[in-house]
Amino acid sequence: MTNELTTLSAAALSELIRTRRVSAVEVVRAHLDAIDRFNPVINAIVSMRPEEALHDARERDRQLAAGEWLGPLHGLPFAVKDLMDVAGIRTTHGSRIYADHIAEADSVISGRIRDAGAVFVGKTNVPEFGVGSHTFNDVFGATGNPYDLTRSAGGSSGGAAAAVTAGLLPVADGSDLGGSIRNPASFTNLVGLRPTAGRVASARPGNAWDPGSVLGPLARDVKDAALLLSVISAPERRAPLSIDEDPSLFRSLQPRSFHGARIALSEDLGGLPLDPEVRQATLAAARLAESLGAEVVPVELDMSEADLVFETFRSLEFLDGHGDDAARYPELVKQTLKDDISWTGSFTPALIAKAGGARTRLFRQFQALLGDYDLVLAPCVQVLPFPIEWEYPTEIDGIAMDKYYAWQRSCSRITATAMPALSMPMTFSRAGLPIGVQFVGPYRGDRLLLEYGLSWEAAVADVMARRPDLGEVAS
């Protein structure tokens, strides 16, 4: 039973623990055993605390025996992304500057996860300060893709995605600015939701009015993504974009049929280059949606202002969040972050005002589009998981990339619209690498996306059931 526990969903484990058919100690120990066996080669979980985790698991069992059930994560092993503070645990941000930093208090998301009964086993690996969609840093090294350890698991939630798909964790949190949930979900055959800004509120420093960077779930199925979302989404007085809706609405999802749905198909999100296998997978997804009863209509989206919006506000966020670190410790900060910060030197008030107006236009354009259509279907990531030794892809299908993050514009252009997006598995490449697609929904349409996701996962059940085989690489 021990090995089987790491294959079960978070929802199934939660029910087994709640009904005392298995103990929290058994569940945590099973996952710690998997971490001991596989994490040395995957490098997904960092700052591990196995003894403390077992102690906390025993406490969860004592609480349950006394009739106290803390919530749907009661007794489940959890590792928060290493950009978010967890009290008493090292939070490095993947940076040598903070390599020995011990958090004094929980972040909002970590506090909610703790309050729901989770047992913290460590943190999940990230690129330095979450910059770039490939997970590597000078503190812990690179995270490998469990489907092919010579390939990237994506980022910046690459450690979270690799851990969940490999069975080291049942579910995990991520964050998404330019695709940091959707990208690793696509690379590792997972469900990843970029929620509407404010759905998962944060009290982090910085511009709280900016809808670009959001927090959300990564899971092996939609029900688990919804379960975690129900824990981490709640109003927060310190977050001005916080959505004041009962998070329990994500615990009662029903599959939403594609029959009769109208779907706008954007094959390349405004002319972006795609790996041919990604393009084929996106078109195959459109055919699958039609077979499920949807009307799929190819559309030409005007994304001409999306890069201006994303790139302007991204650089401003990094200037605000990491400008001081880069100025104080330039030798400890990677060049791509320094480049992003330096680009703000050419920003004029007129450019920033233009980007703000463009963001409003994009929002209204997509709200209008999603008044005529139920969903937008688009490629999630423009490339297949690339070699782990690369810092980032420099070309796609023969076209050179002009910036270090240009290869992920299929995600970042959706970020610029402020719409929620759901990355769902679709197929595997000829080399056995996962390829996902993304569904974009209307503003605050997070529940709608997940309900369509339930129907989609039933249609691609064979793809989602294909988990990585790590037996030969166990240490």
**Which listed residue (180, 230, 266, 315) is catalytic?**
180
Determine the Cα angle at 455 with ends 449 and 460, to 5°: 115
Spatial distance between the Cα atoms of 334 and 141, rounded to a whole number of angstroms: 14
156 given a catalytic annotation: yes
Q: How far apart are CA 70 and CA 51, in angstroms?
A: 21
What are the CA-CA distances from residue 259 to residues 263, 295, 458, 462 (Å)?
11, 8, 14, 21
Residue with tokens 């600015």: 177
Active site residue 180: yes
Q: Is 241 exposed, middle or buried (0-12, 13-18, 19+ CB in 10 A)?
A: middle
Q: Which of 95, 110, 156, 266 is catalytic?
A: 156
- Cβ neighbours around 77 below 10 Å, total: 32
- Are 101 and 123 in contact by the 8 Å Cβ rule? The answer is no
- On whether the CB atoms of residues 162 and 143 are closer than 8 A, the answer is yes
What values do phi and psi take at 404, rounded to 5? -65, -20
Q: CA torsion 152→157→160→166, rounded to 10°?
A: -20
Measure the CA–CA gap between 142 and 149, rounded to whole angstroms.
10
* DSSP-based three-state secondary structure for 39: helix
178 close to 132: Cβ distance less than 8 angstroms: no
Element (H, E) at 297: strand 295-298
Q: Which of 14, 81, 233, 315 is catalytic?
A: 81
Q: What are residue 275's phi and psi, to 5 degrees? A: -60, 135
- E strand or H helix at 95: none
**Residue-wise over 175-208: b if at least 16 C-beta within 10 A, else e?**
bbbbbbbbbbbbbbbbbbbbbbbbbbbbebeeeb
Is 9 considered catalytic here?
no
Residues labelled catalytic: 81, 156, 180
